[in-house]
A and B are shown apart, each in its own frame.
Chain A
Amino acid sequence: MSAYLDHAATTPVLPQAARVLAEQLARTGNPSSLHASGRAARRVVEEAREGLAAALGARPSEVLWTSGGTEADNLAVKGLFWARQAQDPARRRVLVSAVEHHAVLDPARWLAEHAGAEVVLLPVDDAGVLVVDALRAELERAGDRTALVSVMWANNEVGALQPLADVVELAHRAGVPVHTDAVQAVGQVPVDFTATGVDALTVSGHKLGGPGGTGALLARRGLDLTPVLHGGGQERGVRSGSLDAALLASFAVAVAEAVGGREAQARRLGALRDRLVAGALRAVPDAVLRGPADPARRLPGNAHLTFPGCEGDSLLFLLDSAGVEASTGSACQAGVPQPSHVLLAMGLAADEARGALRFSLGHTSTEADVDALLEVLPEVVARARAAGLSTVPSLAPAAAGAR
């Protein structure tokens, strides 16, 4: 049996969410249709909307369904930029933290390449936390030329919680809307859309026990968003596309469960995480915990470590062979390991950043999972270290051929 320690990549669907999905899949009806089947489907979708809004402190009308976190991030970054540009062409600056997920960074870069945006990467400290003074300076310098600020709620690699209250206060003082990618945060830390004051917030289904292919952008009432997807005019005309009642019902149930059980779960995962980190540092004394040292300032399920002299992909392979599933932190299209932009932004050298492993815990995690990791970790690190050296470690040293 394998130990699954990659819940930040995706986490098993919650039983209740799976049940609802199966029930609803058997039903027919496009929520946009006017007949009885359509009305029934619409009712399911709207109940899901209300459930999701309630769980996250939003109004139902502020929920825009999407296909997932990436689409919601794209809609927020591009939609806000285009809308602000239409109102005031001078607002072409996009401020994002340097540790954003690619679903925020890449749309911002795309806007720079294709739509005249000026992207400013806001620095983070050595724990991966936004440097608030840098944001303040950027807004003081050119707040009136800034279209939006996007800072994630919690970092997906090193688990750092970001100072969102400061971000919102500073940005709003300058009249700039704030988007936050809360994909990793929902279900792990308290997330209240209205209370936090952000203008847009991304949530994803499969990261918290819902089905894949589901997500939402919470968008404050009155927030202007230019559509990315055009078509049938669903979701206030901002996000066209037929809605899938079964997926959304399941998604909303998962959010409600994850948020409802969050406090107890976070306590349990935090304790497991602390045990994992302590055990790993005991087993490999020169390993380094990355992200905030204070457990209260990071996601309860996140442990991120670097192992000097090791390649992350070697560690990953050896753990996988030993039945332990983890991540180097950031997946990439072709699976080519690149030093993490998050770790580089935190000031790590490329070589340090290479030996990174992220362990992320979730609702099915147990002490046995952590123990399985700790049991194999010393041997895995020793082997990866041998492979990390560029010399020939295991073959006889004689050079080939007669000289």
Chain B
Amino acid sequence: MRVLAALSGGVDSAVAAARAVDAGHDVVGVHMALSRNRDQFRTGSRGCCSLEDAGDARRAADVLGIPYYVWDLSERFEETVVADFLAEYEAGRTPNPCVRCNEHIKFEALLDKAVALGFEAVCTGHYARVETAEDGTRRLHRARDASKDQSYVLAVMGPRRLQRAMFPLGDVTSKEETRREAAARGLSVSAKPDSYDICFVADGDTRGFLRERLGSRPGEVVDADGTVLGRHDGAYAYTVGQRRGLALGRPAADGRPRYVLSVEPVRNQVVVGPAEALQVGAVEADRAVWFGGAPAPDEAVTCTVQVRAHGAAVPAVARVRADGTLDVGVDPAGGLRGVAPGQSLVLYDGTRVLGQATVTGTRRPTGADLRGSAGGTGAGTVAAGAR
């Protein structure tokens, strides 16, 4: 098979490409240039954005004996991932740029171009498995090493693009195994540090990045009753569940810490309250993507849901409403709290990804959530998505 291996310059994509070569595929390495001005992007740890990363990717391709190209996707990246990141924060939501990058860049812009140029698959260093179901369709599963699993950020690609995805690291037992394999193959990136930051935000300073791009927009910090407790310099700098950095002048009457409950962009307010107000009994979501077909309207789908890249999966019952939006009742014992509009929600059946959607709002626990109150009356809603 003619395979395009996306090479970020990190150890994972290098070993994935090596495995694709070993499997007998005709592999070509491509490094995506995601910034026009590469000096502005973070250097050092694994990014895929710096000149150092481009050099490491090229060296890995040379060691593997495969051709290497750089494709400039910087305009698409800025138009989709970065613009979405800013617009979401501006709208009081909490985006995951890695999800958007997988959606618009790796498995859209890159994949489309690869297919047009005659490739049959795109291979990346993501930790996830693809298994072929009895009906011949391919299904996305969690990686064997649950701690490295990245199915959460991949689910957004949907079933059609999954047909052309290749994740050779899905059955790796640990990151150490990947590093050992890289060293054994003579890949110099074997000891390169992992990155956990957003690649286009220098020094991991998201707040500083947002301030630079969105400017200062002073407003009020209020409690659930609307009482003004303090000021902020831009509501976009706050995210649901946040406790630090509120700089409230006076303590709560009960002396307990307060957390961000919601961000209201229209009123430019940050709403704060006690920890228990963050508990989530149900999550509402839209823009659903289903693997293996969407459930029938109002059909109760027993599953687990995950709302963060490194978060735990919580038992849940999901229902699709007639309008295609999703209502997911979660098990209160799962301890799901502080879920913000904009977060990606992924539904699993065991290790298998059922679907993915984007959170629009949450409701407090009512005691009946697992039965899936698909009506979504709005009672107890703390974080209705500001649309």
Contact = CB atoms under 8 A, between A and B. Distances in A.
Interface string A371-403: 000000000000110110101111110101111
B115 A395 contact: yes
Contacts of A316: 69
A335 B117 contact: no
Contact of A335 (B28, B54, B159, B287): B54
A402 B294 contact: yes
Contact of A395 (B51, B70, B161): B161
Contact of A392 (B58, B112, B287): B112
B87 to A, nearest CB: 20
Contact of B55 (A313, A334, A384, A387): A334
B289 interface: yes
B72 A313 contact: yes
Contacts of A317: 28, 67, 69, 117
B47 interface: no
Contacts of A395: 111-112, 115, 160-161, 164
A398 B113 contact: no
B116 A394 contact: yes
Nearest to B50: A334
Most chain B CB neighbours (cut-off 10 Å) among A314, A320, A333, A334: A334
Given A334-B38, A335-B58, A335-B70, A400 B160 contact: yes
Contacts, number: 85
A264 interface: no
A316 B69 CA distance: 9
Most chain B CB neighbours (cut-off 10 Å) among A383, A387, A398: A387
A195 interface: no
A337 B32 CA distance: 11
A368 interface: no
B324 A403 contact: yes
A401 B294 contact: yes
A314 B117 contact: yes
A337 B112 contact: no
Given A401-B289, A403-B324, A383 B38 contact: no
Contacts of A403: 324
Contacts of A384: 117
**Interface size range of chain A in the complex:** 20 to 34
B342 interface: no
Contacts of A335: 31, 54, 58, 68-70
B113 A314 contact: yes
Nearest to A402: B294
B89 to A, nearest CB: 25
A403 B324 CA distance: 6
Contacts of B70: 313, 334-337
A152 interface: no
Given A334-B55, A395-B112, A401-B290, A318 B160 contact: no
Most chain B CB neighbours (cut-off 10 Å) among A318, A387, A398, A402: A402
Nearest to A394: B115
Interface in A78-136: none
A389 B115 CA distance: 12
A314 B67 CA distance: 13
B37 to A, nearest CB: 11
B355 interface: yes
B38 A387 contact: no
B297 to A, nearest CB: 10
A272 B204 CA distance: 56
Contact of A398 (B55, B116, B160, B288): B160
A335 B67 CA distance: 13
B272 interface: no
A400 B324 CA distance: 13
A72 B325 CA distance: 66
B72 A383 contact: no
Given A334-B38, A403-B324, A313 B117 contact: no
Most chain A CB neighbours (cut-off 10 Å) among B31, B67, B117, B157: B117
B117 A383 contact: yes
A393 B158 contact: no
Given A313-B72, A393-B112, A395-B112, A334 B33 contact: yes
B205 to A, nearest CB: 25
B116 A387 contact: yes
Contacts of B28: 317, 321
Nearest to A335: B70
A313 B32 CA distance: 12
Contact of B116 (A313, A321, A334, A393): A393
A313 B116 CA distance: 13
Contacts of B112: 387, 391-395
A313 B71 CA distance: 7
B293 interface: yes
22 contacts: A313-B72, A317-B28, A317-B117, A321-B118, A334-B70, A336-B38, A383-B116, A383-B118, A387-B116, A387-B117, A392-B112, A393-B115, A394-B112, A394-B115, A395-B111, A395-B115, A395-B161, A400-B157, A401-B287, A401-B290, A401-B294, A402-B320
Interface of A: 313-314, 316-318, 320-321, 333-338, 383-384, 386-387, 389, 391-396, 398, 400-403
Interface of B: 28, 31, 33, 38, 51, 54-55, 58, 67-72, 108, 111-113, 115-118, 157-161, 164, 287-290, 293-294, 320, 324, 355
Give the top 10 A-B pairs by smallest Cβ distance, nearest first.
A400-B158, A402-B294, A387-B116, A401-B289, A335-B70, A394-B115, A334-B54, A336-B33, A386-B116, A387-B117
